[in-house]
């Protein structure tokens, strides 16, 4: 950030008066431009014993498989965001069942919140950001081709829980590579 979006003057990055860390701070008008982690919301769409995965048509992770997920929009609830991302990426409608996993990704300033969801109507197809959308049984999950560590962690947790016959909310962290 080079210029203040409030007054247009050049920005500094230093500790504002009374604060305890360095921020984008405008010395002309005194506005502090806070930067905070972004929330990514998504879901595990289930139907009977299969789940829906999307193969990414965009970087990062082009050509690899992921669960439908993306940045929450302003004014949107987390469940609505997860449903919207599923509709955009997999052209699929889901019923949100329960919040399932929260991952802190502190080095990337992201938090992932993943829901369990039920696929409605078994209709799906590749959305704009997907090359392909497909149902997978546990035995067919392309483990070597999962786009993100957080998605791999979510899937591992999910299948562990499914084998144990109970799902409980999980909170974890993805360490810096």
Please select the residue that binds Zn ion; options are 4, 53, 114, 151, rule is CB under 5 A: 4
119 near Zn ion (CB under 5 A): no
CB of 14 to Zn ion, least distance (A): 14
Tally: H helices and E strands in the chain: 2, 11
Q: Are 142 and 66 in contact (CB under 8 A)?
A: no
Alpha-carbon span 108 to 157, nearest angstrom: 21
The residue range among 26-34, 47-55, 120-128, 135-143 that interacts with Zn ion, by the rule CB under 5 A, is: 26-34
Q: DSSP of 107-143, one letter per residue?
A: GGTEEEEEEEEEEETT-----TTEEEEEEE-GGG--G
| 7 forms part of the interface with Zn ion (CB under 5 A) | yes
Q: Which is nearer to Zn ion, 31 or 135 (CB)?
A: 31
CB of 5 to Zn ion, least distance (A): 8
* Identified binder of Zn ion from the candidate list 1, 10, 29, 140, rule CB under 5 A: 29
Smallest separation, CB 13 to Zn ion (Å): 13
Q: Should residue 15 be labelled a site residue for Zn ion when binding is judged by CB under 5 A?
A: no
- Distance in Å, CB of 1 to Zn ion, minimum: 11
Which residue, 112, 126, 6, 154, is CA-closest to 57?
Answer: 126
Q: Phi/psi of residue 145, each to 5°? A: -125, 35
| Binding of Zn ion by 6 (CB under 5 A) | yes
Shortest Å distance, C-beta 32 to Zn ion: 10
Which residue has tokens 């899937």? 155
Are 54 and 85 a contacting pair, CB within 8 Å? no
User: Considering the rule CB under 5 A, would residue 26 count as an interface residue with Zn ion?
Assistant: yes
Q: What is the contact surface with Zn ion in residues (CB under 5 A)?
A: 4, 6-7, 26, 28-29, 31
């Amino acid at each position: 950030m080079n210029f203040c979006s409030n007054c247009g003057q050049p920005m500094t990055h230093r500790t504002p008066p009374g604060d305890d860390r360095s921020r984008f701070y405008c010395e002309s008008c005194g506005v502090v431009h806070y930067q905070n982690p972004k929330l990514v919301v998504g879901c595990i769409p289930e139907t009977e014993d299969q789940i829906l995965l999307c193969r990414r048509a965009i970087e990062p992770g082009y050509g690899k498989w992921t669960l439908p997920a993306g940045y929450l929009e302003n004014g949107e609830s987390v469940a609505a965001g997860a449903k919207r991302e599923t509709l955009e990426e997999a052209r699929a409608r889901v019923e949100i069942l329960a919040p399932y996993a929260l991952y802190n990704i502190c080095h990337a300033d992201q938090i992932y919140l993943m829901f369990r969801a039920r696929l409605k109507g078994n209709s799906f197809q590749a959305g704009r950001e997907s090359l392909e959308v497909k149902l997978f049984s546990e035995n067919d999950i392309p483990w070597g081709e999962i786009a993100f560590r957080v998605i791999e962690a979510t899937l591992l947790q999910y299948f562990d829980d499914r084998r144990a016959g109970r799902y409980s909310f999980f909170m974890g962290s993805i360490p810096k590579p």
